[in-house]
Structure 1
Amino acid sequence: MNQPEVKLGEKMQISAAMQEIFTTDNGAVYQCDKSNRLLVSFGDSLAELKVETFLRLKKAVDSINLSTMAVNTGRSSDYELITVFGCDKLYVLTLPEIYSFKELLSGAKFILELNSMLHERLYAQLA
């Protein structure tokens, strides 16, 4: 897949040095081994995150009860504000966007865990 050249401030850009972790129609997560950070591209925004911050973001998004949000008729339930310590991005998402964001973050976390397990097994066999 061709990766777009997108700048995030002056710190990071999606390039050949970035490894694509997981992609959906609405976003993608890339990993940079040089900086040990993840780049989360969702909608029109990019966020550069440490792994710990990524996990906090996933936990915050997972804690949103989509069923309760869907049945609540109040205007305040139309959007959810999501931010976590270590992330300079404030996400203002609707119910469908939260569902898509959950899918992206869950898929990326699964692939990261799978890569970690494979790495452990390969190096345990070689030792």
Structure 2
Amino acid sequence: MIAATAKPGEMMTAATEMVEIYANEAGAVFQCDRRNRLMLYFAGALNVLKVDTFLRLKQAVASIDLEQMAANPSRSSDYEIVAVCGCERCFILSLTELYALRDLLEGAKFSLELNRMLHECLTPLEA
């Protein structure tokens, strides 16, 4: 089992079945083929997500209007609470954390989609 406080590089040595999908300065997303899960390392915590939960989290973060949040002078707009079904963690994120998480999730989704399309193109069709 991987400790929740492990760094992304340490996770790769601890579990060789994990492949890094995408990383930025805020964290990383890994794919575990053995368990058919995505591992989100963000804000010092490791979150194990099913693919559908990952997609729900990406959609929830993408639906937040960051421009409106930045323009709103009220203190209540300084943080956003993000919780999705299937994820054990409730994220309480500032504007900069939301931006970093959005980049991380969008980059991982793009990499997964690109990998799927390449696999389809390179795999010969069976008759």
| TM-score, normalised relative to structure 2 | 0.88
Query: In the alignment, residue 69 of structure 1 is paired with which amino acid?
Result: M
% identity of equivalent residues: 50
Q: What pairs with 1:25-64 in structure 2 (closer than 5 Å)?
A: 25-64=25-64
Give a deviation string over 1:3-24, Cα, whole Å, max 9, x none: 2149xxxxxx952110000000
Residue 94 of structure 1 is matched in structure 2 by: 94
1:38–1:54: 8 Å Cα contact kept in structure 2? yes
Is 1:23 aligned to 2:23, yes or no? yes
1:3–1:15: 8 Å Cα contact kept in structure 2? no
Partners of 1:14 and 1:98 lie apart in 2 by 28
Give a deviation string over 1:76-124, Cα, whole Å, max 9, x none: 100000010000111010001100000000000000000011111111x
Q: Kindly state the Cα deviation for residue 49 of structure 1 after the two structures are TM-superposed.
A: 0.3
Partners of 2:45 and 2:93 lie apart in 1 by 12
What stretches of structure 1 of length at least 5 have no aligned partner?
Answer: 7-12
Partners of 1:14 and 1:58 lie apart in 2 by 26
Q: What pairs with 1:46-125 in structure 2 (closer than 5 Å)?
A: 46-123=46-123, 125=124
Q: Secondary structure at the match of 2:10?
A: coil
Partners of 1:30 and 1:98 lie apart in 2 by 19
Deviating 4+ runs (over 2 angstroms): none
What stretches of structure 2 of length at least 5 have no aligned partner?
Answer: 1-7
Partners of 1:105 and 1:64 lie apart in 2 by 13
Instruction: Give the alignment's Cα RMSD to 1 decimal.
Output: 1.7
Residue 4 of structure 1 is matched in structure 2 by: 10
Partners of 1:91 and 1:14 lie apart in 2 by 26
Give a deviation string over 1:23-66, Cα, whole Å, max 9, x none: 00110000000110000001111110000000000000000000
